[in-house]
Amino acid sequence: MAEEVDVVVIGLGPGGEDAAGRLAEAGLSVVAVESRLVGGECPYYACVPTKMMVRAAGLLAEGGRIPGMAGEASVRPDWAPVAARIRDEATGDWDDKAAADRLTGKGARLVRGHGRVTGPREVTVDGQVFQARRGIVLNTGTSPAAPPVDGLAGTPYWTNREAVQATEPPASLLVLGGGVVGVEMAQVFSRFGSRVTIVEHGDRLLANEEPESSALLRDVFEREGIGVRTGVAATGVAYENGEFTLRLGDEAVVGDRLLVATGRRSNLKGLGLDAVGLDENARGVSVDGHMRAAEGVWAIGDITGMGAFTHVSMYQAAIAVRDILGEEGPPAVYRAVPRVTFTDPEIGSVGLTEAQAREQNLPVRTSVSPIPGSTRGWIHKTGNDGLIKLVENTEWGTLVGATAAGPSGGEVLGFLAVAVHTETPTASLREMIYAYPTFHRAIEPALTALAEKTSGA
């Protein structure tokens, strides 16, 4: 016999947890289903603990910049307080009791287990059947994906999950993949004494960002002693006597640990989506502007393919909740999705890159302003690597994309995200007063350079 409830939420990552809590607080009977940890990847294996690692690594770098600027200093890395902080402050030793209590305290019912859609508005969890009067919210997220490299399967390689749980840095680390996870972890472990080599099949690091950002980061990495190999494919992996050998064609690199950071796959297998007319073999779940995926089904988060970010999942959760409750509200708009790579320099981006804009046949012109050329960059001196890049639609006279790379690049990005989201004319941006001397003031010469260019330049 099926138990009737109002809504079943499958998957309690940030968006799913938020949606379940909001719906319960609105007075609906909500069953929230999770087979792993309430809160999802972000608080236990991604956003929060990795930024603790980045913060600690940044402190080491700043300490090393004291000589010649403010006196003398020597820095000795110690991973123990980092591991302790992740275990005790961030993850509760990978226990989700606090998150579960927070959710149930809002009135939602937590059901542990694997949820499967078994019919229209019907979910089965380990034999328990729930009939959802209003519908089902899917937020099953993604998992690390390993490439089909010969010999990799069965070796004790790391993903982001194992890297976060490390109790000590390895003497040497191979990083397969030059995306966000790969570059962040490469720099963290390098600064804690690991000998790091990062291998990327594509021709540059951070392939989804501007090439200027990729070149900037590569230059910094090489100065810091991180080996960067781009444009090479891993053809095989061997693990013997506690050491990994990563074959790159006729060459090979070795390390004590191998971090595989080559992407993620949507958790759709075994979800029973065919019961509601959806394809669980697809890369993701298509949704409309109100997060509707099918009749009585909403989908949010990474599986929608609109950005694997906590802030996107939370944004979508609010929209789905409004729709389920029958409340008015604007549909989702993604023209100004911000993203930040927490390396040093920090790389913040919003909207379209130049390449993406041109692929859409938009009439664009761009400009780049170097952070070291700004007054604040000059004052900052050591550790001042960075740039501002603007992408303007010349027909509309507005920014469609921007990058803020450098010290506090993610914070400088806030200004640019507002400009892209609100479609503020670049002429108006040039008329603003920019505080002196700040990093964000480097936006001003980039705007000036845009005005000096001819259309299509």
287 is in an annotated binding site: no
How many Cβ atoms are within 10 Å of 373's Cβ, its own excluded? 12
16 appears as a binding residue in the annotation: no
| Torsion of the alpha carbons at 8, 91, 348 and 319, rounded to the nearest 10 | 20
51 labelled binding-site residue: yes
SS3 annotation, 274-297:
HHHCCCCCCCCCCCCCCCEEECCE
Q: Known binder of ligand: residue 182?
A: yes
Q: Would the annotation count 179 as a binding residue? A: yes
CB contact set of 71 (below 8 Å; sequence gap of 6+)? none
Q: Determine whether the annotation assigns residue 8 to a binding site.
A: no
Residue 263 labeled ligand binder:
yes
Helices 14-25, 97-105: crossing angle, 10 deg rounding = 30
Neighbours of 272 (CB within 10 A): 18
Q: Determine if residue 178 is labeled as part of a ligand binding site.
A: yes
Residue 71 is labelled as binding a ligand: no
Cβ-contact 453, 367 below 8 angstroms:
yes
Binding residue per annotation — 119? no
**Residue 177 marked ligand-binding:** yes
Known binding residues for NAD(+) are 177-184, 200, 263
Known binding residues are 51, 115, 177-184, 200, 263, 302
Known binding residues for FAD are 51, 115, 302
